[in-house]
Amino acid sequence: MSLGIVVATKSEIVYDKIKNYIINGKLEPGEKYSISKLAKDFGISRSPVYEAVKLLEKEDFVTIIPNVGFKVNTLTRKEIHDLLRIQGALEGLAIREAMDNIGEEEIEELNKILDRTEKYYNNNKIDKYVEENKKFHFKLYKYSQSNKLLNVLKDYWRYEIWYTQNSDEIKSNICNLIDDHRELLEIIEEGKEEKVQDFIDEHIKDCEQVVLNNLESTKMLVD
């Protein structure tokens, strides 16, 4: 009988470890690292480390260098701008598609998520804030009833690491995003579809500033 317990594979565990090393600055952007040495440090074979690094390369966090290992990637301001602009266009489409499927019950559920988001913000529980913020977005996307659109947006959310690298230092900016989400719900509730994309474009500008502020003091951001 299955108890519904999911056991992570070695490569998944190593993937999380390396990703956290990147987040915490233990693996520095622009530097080259040996897969064999990491495998030795982790006390495992080279294979799961290589599989983890391949996944991280697919997500643009690293670049594999044949016969050397891998390099941790950096981001330029232009890359951040382009990524967020494309994400904003997709989000605008998803929300417009979702509006026909959002009624009082859905608005109430979304407001509950925002209430939790604000509570975690006020209590300085930034990890929980990030989790609820993501729930809010994907709840909205799901109402579009488009799995294709949902999957494309999931692909862009792999970059959320860049938003939250030093989130404790940008608490005031985070608060502005909560206010933005409450305003968005008002637009949806009033059925003002023509205002959605203009709002999203402005919201994305706020997000871009958060990302830039967040990465300003790190080696991840290069001009």
Could you tell me the pLDDT band of residue 169, with boundaries at 50, 70 and 90? low
Can you spell out the DSSP letters for 23-70?
Answer: HTTSS-TT-EE-HHHHHHHHTS-HHHHHHHHHHHHHTTSEEEETTTEE
Please tell me the predicted confidence (pLDDT) of residue 194: 93
pLDDT of residue 29 exceeding 60, the answer is yes
Q: 99 φ, ψ to 5°?
A: -60, -35
Which pair of tokens denotes residue 201?
A: 């474009």
pLDDT of residue 7 exceeding 60, the answer is no
Cα–Cα distance measured from residue 73 to residue 60, given in angstroms and rounded to the nearest whole number: 7
pLDDT of residue 174 exceeding 80, the answer is no
By mean pLDDT, which of 97-101, 182-186, 209-213 is the weakest? 209-213
Residue in the structure block whose two tokens are 């489409």: 93
Residue in the structure block whose two tokens are 């499927």: 101
Please tell me the predicted confidence (pLDDT) of residue 62: 93
| Residues facing residue 221 across a β-bridge | 75
Q: 178 φ, ψ to 5°?
A: -65, -45
Nearby residues of 201 by Cβ (< 8 Å), 6 or more positions away = 88, 92
Please tell me the predicted confidence (pLDDT) of residue 222: 74
Contact 135, 87 (CB under 8 A): no
Please tell me the predicted confidence (pLDDT) of residue 170: 52
pLDDT of residue 207 exceeding 90, the answer is no
Query: 219 or 156, which is more confident?
Result: 156
Three-class DSSP labels, 98-143: HHHHCCHHHHHHHHHHHHHHHHHHHCCCHHHHHHHHHHHHHHHHHC
Delineate the domains of the chain, giving CATH numbers in brackets: 10-73 (1.10.10.10), 76-222 (1.20.120.530)
Q: What is the mean pLDDT of the chain?
A: 85
Could you tell me the pLDDT band of residue 101, with boundaries at 50, 70 and 90? very high
How buried is residue 30: exposed, middle or buried, by Cβ count under 10 Å (0-12/13-18/19+)? exposed
Could you tell me the pLDDT band of residue 171, with boundaries at 50, 70 and 90? low
Cα–Cα distance measured from residue 110 to residue 102, given in angstroms and rounded to the nearest whole number: 10
Cα–Cα distance measured from residue 94 to residue 166, given in angstroms and rounded to the nearest whole number: 29
Which pair of tokens denotes residue 64?
A: 């594999």
Q: What is the mean pLDDT of residues 114-127?
A: 88
Contact 98, 144 (CB under 8 A): yes
Please tell me the predicted confidence (pLDDT) of residue 168: 53
Residue pLDDT, tens place only, 178-192: 889 999 999 999 999
Helix (H, G, I), strand (E, B) or coil at 187: helix
